[in-house]
Amino acid sequence: MNFFNEDNFLHRFFLSAGDFIGLNLLWIITSVPVVTAGASTTALYYCTLKLHKDKDISIWKCYWKSFRGNFFQATAVWLGLIGAGVCVWFEKRAIVTMPMPMAGVFTYVIWGIALLLAVTALYIFPTIASFENKTRRLLPYALCFAARKPLYALCMALLTCLPMYFTLVDAKLFPVYLLVWLMCGFSLTAYGNSWFLWRLFRPYFAENEKVMSGAGNESDQYVF
């Protein structure tokens, strides 16, 4: 068995493992300032979606291309989500001071807003990574993608949250979980989510290939 043969399974496996580890490290490093987490998450999904589409890409070039190109838009969205989340948290704290009938109503309202923010956070950065348009158009698109395939949204939410939950509650295996997260946990999670996302986005790219660009209106541009 010739390990250096590109068709060799082990050769492909180690190349793929290297891509996921490198992508994971890039995401962690560029997310450390916190304020840049939106741009880094957008770049992460840009790469994982490209992996589903093209199979073989340059992680380094693709990551920085998306990070630079979407930095301001993704950062604005990220800060907006953080601001909205803080407001929801304060409103939840304020509910205890309300009389009971009103407190019950506001509890449902707060949980509904929190769910809307969670769904937006799950879809908006992959949407920014895939489509070029104004934020006010991309935000409704993200929610429409979630509503179009609710089962996909549920699977992505479970794939994102369950590993983190087990990491936090299992104290004995926490060092092992932590090592996995540091090595490739975030990139693998994004790659798993991108399996569903690419099936949502692919029809739009296929349609775009059949029409001529430059229609003169505020039409979507497809990044890939």
Model confidence pLDDT, tens digit, residues 162-204: 999 999 998 888 999 999 999 999 999 999 999 999 999 988 8
Residue type, 21: I
Q: Answer for the pair 146, 126: CB distance below 8 angstroms, yes or no.
A: no
pLDDT reading at 25 higher than 90: yes
- Residue 38: the pLDDT is 97
User: pLDDT class for 93, splitting at 50, 70, 90?
Assistant: confident
Residue type, 4: F
Of 46-55, 187-196, 205-214, the range with the highest mean pLDDT is 187-196
- Residue 170: the pLDDT is 87
CA trace torsion 86, 31, 147, 214 (10° rounding): 120
> Taking the model in full, what pTM does it have?
0.87
Mean pLDDT across 2-23: 65
Residue type, 30: T
- Residue 4: the pLDDT is 47
CB 24: neighbour CB atoms within 10 A? 22
Which of 12-26, 48-62, 131-145 is the least confident region? 12-26
Domain boundaries, the chain: 9-209
Q: What is the mean pLDDT of the chain?
A: 86
Collect all residues with Cβ–Cβ distance below 8 Å to 78 and sequence separation of at least 6. 35, 37, 38, 39, 41
